[in-house]
Structure formats: structure tokens, C-alpha cells
Amino acid sequence: MFDEGGDLFVFHAKTRSYMIPRLSEALKGREIVASEVSTLIYIHDNPGCSPKDICYSIAVDKSIISNRVKSLIDRGIVEDHSKNKRTYKLYLTKKGITEHDYARNALKDINDSLTVNMTERQKETFIKLMKKITEVAELGYKY
């Protein structure tokens, strides 16, 4: 299907290089930074999750997620509702929900700027394709 291979890999790199600087700019002066947004989104969408769950979902090294979660907890953005220190049940605080919502709106604006020249039908097709690619990629991911 792809001419020389690597097309999706390059697509991913190009979209990240478009999105990250814009997201960083949108988050200036906020309580969070761009690298924390995927973690906030995962916790928001999966309340009670653990750092290991986040690692599996966003394919980031466990030590990075552990440090990120600790920092978010220390800043009052995330809280741990577990009964012991060996497990985590992560939830967003009120501040975390505010930051999450702000970041999600910023991402929506950035996504819209990427698809501004697409018709509604092309956007719908693109979303369906992204969901299908994500499903297949998740089947093969192992942490």
C-alpha cells in the first residue's frame, strides 16, 4: 500500500512536529506542559488508572510516566486514591480537570488547523482510518 515504507512513521513525526510547538505555545503560563497532556487525557478518560496503564496506552517508558505522575501529584493536578503505596488509582483534581479541558480545546484548535482544507466527508473518512490504524497498532503493542 505504501510506496517505500515508513510513510506512517514519517506522517507521525511530521504531525508531532506541527502540533507540539503549537501546543507548547498554547500552554504558556499554564500549570502543565505539552509532554504531560497525553497523561492527563488518559487519566481523564480512564479514572482510577495506574501508571502502568498509561505506559501501555501511550507507549512511553515506565520511568518517564512515574516521574510525570509524581510531578503532577506534587503540583495538585492528579491525586492517588489507592489505599497503599504499591498501587495507584489516579484521578484528576479540580485543577487537573481545568488544565485537561484547556489542553483538549487547544488540541482541537490545532487539529482543526491541520484539517482546514478537508471536506466534511474527508474528515469523517480520516477519523475512521485513524481509529482503524489505532486498533491494529494496539493489538501489537507490548510494553
pLDDT tens-digit readout, 31-81 = 999 999 999 999 999 999 999 999 988 888 999 999 999 999 999 999 999
- pLDDT of res. 58: 85
- pLDDT of res. 93: 98
pTM: 0.86
Which position has the grid cell 475512521? 128
Phi-psi region of 57 (alpha: psi -120 to 50; beta: other; left: phi over 0): alpha
d(CA 58, CA 55): 6
d(CA 11, CA 14): 5
Grid coordinates representing 59 are 507507549
